[in-house]
């Protein structure tokens, strides 16, 4: 578990390094606000297709090989990004990177292999903390390397740095990561088609509701993520360096919530209540962003948003994993991540045109209204543990 945490952390630092750069680099190549958000969304388009595939493959061949191959794809995508000299290359590199990022389903399945159901929310929170740490260090580092001028931030240095970090994660995984799924389990794993897995999900009301919540909530949050740099540039004249420092703070909040609080909170209140609370905090943050025209107000908003996501995501993922059997968990988590990826396509695809056509604040009003609907849906989740718990399945322990 500690090795997986380290691998995810290092890889996410590399991912975070380029986040403050992408919107400004797209504008540097003449992209509109809509094209910038589509460029960022194409990463999720590839992830949408590859998450369930890699999740199912990890059920059959093991988690470790899938993680290794996906890290190689990340290295290649960052190298391509570093050498890009046209807008289409940015799109192509992001597509390749998104294909590699489909490994999140395998990483989550690895966690469920080595943790009992009652500890799963805490374990998912620890991986969430690795994401938070990656976004804490990565964007700040990328912003510092790129500089403050949004028109002249050099993409190549941060991209090559990201490639080096993903290469380091690959070496650690190759040398230290042990397979979590025993050979006999891999041999017995069924390989249902993507359509069959989707039909199975539609036949399970609780699982269907959880993944729908995941999809809608992620859509709203992604609409904010992909337009935030453009909004702060318009409102404050900020460049990559300042945006990177904001992500530093956001990452710190995520680390605190997911690394230290989520386990205790889930035991005390239950994951369903945390889903509702997290959704409400995100709705408040999105509604408040258009009015955050001073730094103190902006910091309040930048606290509410990661606090909400820190409660929402690991709680939903834990509930979804408990609805899946041990032999299908990779596939089911892959479908949930595919839904998240589809949401990260839809949210930016809507937010970019809204930003361009109706003003910089419109995407956040729309996203806040969507999150208000998510709160209502979350309040209807059953408070008891899901009846089809993974506790009834045979749970392999840490190898």
**Residue 202, CB-side half-sphere exposure with 13 Å CA sphere:** 6
Q: Mind listing the pLDDT tens digit for each residue in 230-267?
A: 899 889 988 777 887 887 788 788 878 877 888 888 88
Asked if 130 and 110 count as a contact pair (C-beta separation under 8 A), the reply is no
Q: What is the mean pLDDT of residues 183-190?
A: 55
pLDDT of residue 129: 67
Is 257 a member of any domain? Answer: yes
CB 51 within 8 A of CB 102: yes
182, burial (CB in 10 Å: exposed 0-12, middle 13-18, buried 19+): middle
Judged against a pLDDT cut of 50, whether residue 328 lies above it is answered with yes
Which token pair is 215? 């999809």
The CA R_g of the chain, rounded to the nearest whole Å, is 20
Q: Is the residue at 249 inside a domain?
A: yes
Own/partner pairs, 79-83, CB within 8 angstroms, 24+ separation: 79/159, 79/160, 79/163, 81/18, 81/155, 81/159, 81/162, 82/155, 82/156, 82/157, 82/159, 82/160, 82/163, 83/156
Mean pLDDT calculated for residue range 37-49: 80
306 by Cβ neighbours in 10 Å (0-12 / 13-18 / 19+) ranks as buried
pLDDT at 321 over 90: no
pLDDT at 193: 59
Alpha-carbon distance of 298 to 301, in angstroms, equals: 5
CA 373 to chain centre: 21
pLDDT at residue 296 in the model: 92
Rounded Cα–Cα distance for residues 283 and 374 (Å): 9
Domain membership of residue 173 (yes or no) is yes
User: Is 365 contained in some domain?
Assistant: yes
- The whole-number pLDDT of residue 128 equals 66
Q: Which residue has the tokens 């979350």?
A: 378
Say what the pLDDT of residue 287 is. 95
Query: What pLDDT is recorded for position 363?
Result: 93
9 within 8 A of 135, measured Cβ to Cβ: no
Lowest mean pLDDT among 100-114, 215-229, 268-282, 344-358: 100-114
Structure tokens given for 359: 């003003």
pLDDT at 302 over 80: yes
Residue 132 CA to residue 250 CA, distance in Å, equals 8
Q: Kindly tell me if the per-residue pLDDT of 189 is higher than 60.
A: no
Q: What is the mean pLDDT of residues 101-106?
A: 71
pLDDT digits (tens, 9 = 90+) for 126-178: 776 676 677 677 777 777 776 655 444 466 778 888 888 889 888 988 888 88
- The count of C-alpha atoms lying within 13 angstroms of the C-alpha of 12, restricted to the half-sphere facing its C-beta, is 22
**CATH number of the domain bearing residue 86:** 1.20.1250.20
- 296 in a structural domain: yes
pLDDT at res. 155: 66
| The pLDDT of residue 389 | 40
What is the span of the domain harbouring residue 266? 2-178+194-384
From CA 340, how far away is CA 50, in angstroms rounded? Answer: 12
pLDDT recorded at residue 76: 93
Helices (H), the chain: 2-18, 22-28, 33-61, 63-83, 87-100, 104-114, 120-146, 156-176, 183-188, 194-202, 205-236, 240-256, 262-269, 271-288, 295-322, 329-358, 362-378
Using the predicted structure, report yes or no on whether residue 300 has a pLDDT greater than 90.
Answer: yes
| Contact predicate 216/374, CB 8 Å | yes
Residue 86 lies in a domain: yes
Residue 390 within a domain: no
% of the chain residues with pLDDT over 70 = 81
- Rounded Cα distance, 253 and 309, in Å: 10
**Residue with tokens 């460049």, as numbered in its chain:** 239
Is 290 within 8 Å of 369 (Cβ atoms)? no
Q: Of 11, 19, 64, which Cα lies nearest the Cα of 244? A: 19
- Please check the confidence at residue 63 and state whether its pLDDT lies above 80: yes
Of residues 298 and 184, more confidently modeled: 298
129 versus 100: which is more confidently predicted? 100
pLDDT confidence of residue 197: 63
The average pLDDT across 274-302 equals 94
Confidence of residue 182 (pLDDT cuts 50, 70, 90): low
Is residue 370 exposed (0-12), middle (13-18) or buried (19+ Cβ within 10 Å)? Answer: buried
Stretch 53-63: mean pLDDT: 78
Distance between CA atoms of residues 110 and 328, nearest Å: 12
**Domain count of the chain?**
1
Query: Are 344 and 54 within 8 A, CB to CB?
Result: no
Contact 306, 257 (CB under 8 A): yes
Whether the predicted pLDDT of 12 surpasses 90: no
Residue 391 has pLDDT above 60, yes or no: no
- Taking the C-alpha atoms of residue 300 and residue 296, their distance in angstroms, rounded to an integer, is 6
Q: What is the pLDDT of residue 303?
A: 94
Identify which of 291, 333, 324, 320 has the alpha carbon closest to the alpha carbon of residue 392: 324
pLDDT score at 115: 77
Note whether residue 12 is domain-resident: yes
Q: Cβ(339)–Cβ(215) under 8 Å?
A: yes
Q: What does the mean pLDDT of the chain come to?
A: 79
């Amino acid at each position: 578990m500690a090795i997986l945490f380290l691998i995810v952390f290092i890889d996410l630092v590399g991912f975070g390094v380029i986040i403050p750069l992408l919107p400004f680099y797209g504008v540097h190549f003449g992209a509109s606000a809509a094209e910038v958000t589509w460029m960022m969304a194409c990463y999720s388009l590839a992830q949408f297709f590859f998450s369930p595939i890699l999740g199912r493959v990890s059920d059959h061949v093991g988690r470790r090989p899938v993680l290794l191959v996906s890290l190689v794809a990340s290295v290649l995508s960052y190298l391509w990004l570093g050498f890009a000299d046209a807008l289409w290359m940015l799109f192509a590199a992001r597509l390749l990177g998104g294909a590699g990022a489909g490994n999140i389903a395998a990483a989550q399945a690895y966690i469920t292999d080595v943790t009992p159901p009652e500890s799963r929310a805490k374990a998912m929170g620890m991986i969430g903390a690795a994401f938070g740490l990656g976004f804490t260090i990565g964007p700040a580092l990328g912003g510092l390397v790129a500089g403050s001028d949004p028109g002249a931030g050099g993409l190549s240095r941060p991209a090559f740095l990201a490639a080096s970090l993903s290469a380091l994660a690959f070496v650690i995984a190759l040398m230290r990561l042990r397979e979590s799924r025993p050979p006999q389990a891999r041999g017995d794993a069924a390989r249902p088609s993507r359509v069959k897995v989707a039909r199975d999900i539609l036949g399970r009301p609780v699982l269907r509701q959880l993944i729908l919540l995941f999809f809608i909530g992620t859509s709203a949050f992604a609409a904010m993520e992909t337009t935030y740099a453009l909004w702060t540039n318009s409102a404050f004249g900020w460049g990559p360096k300042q945006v990177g420092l904001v992500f530093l703070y956001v990452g710190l909040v995520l680390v605190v919530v997911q690394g230290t609080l989520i386990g205790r909170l889930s035991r005390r209140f239950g994951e369903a209540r945390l889903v509702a609370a997290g959704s409400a905090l995100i709705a408040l943050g999105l509604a408040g962003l258009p009015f955050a025209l001073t730094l103190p107000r902006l910091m309040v908003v930048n606290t509410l948003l990661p606090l909400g996501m820190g409660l929402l995501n690991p709680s939903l993922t834990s509930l979804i994993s408990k609805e899946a059997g041990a032999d299908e968990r990779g596939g089911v988590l892959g479908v949930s991540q595919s839904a998240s990826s589809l949401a990260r396509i839809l949210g930016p695809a809507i937010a970019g045109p809204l930003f361009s056509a109706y003003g910089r604040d419109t995407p956040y009003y729309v996203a806040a209204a969507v999150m208000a609907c998510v709160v209502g849906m979350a309040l209807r989740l059953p408070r008891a543990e899901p009846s089809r718990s993974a506790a009834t399945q045979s749970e392999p322990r840490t190898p």
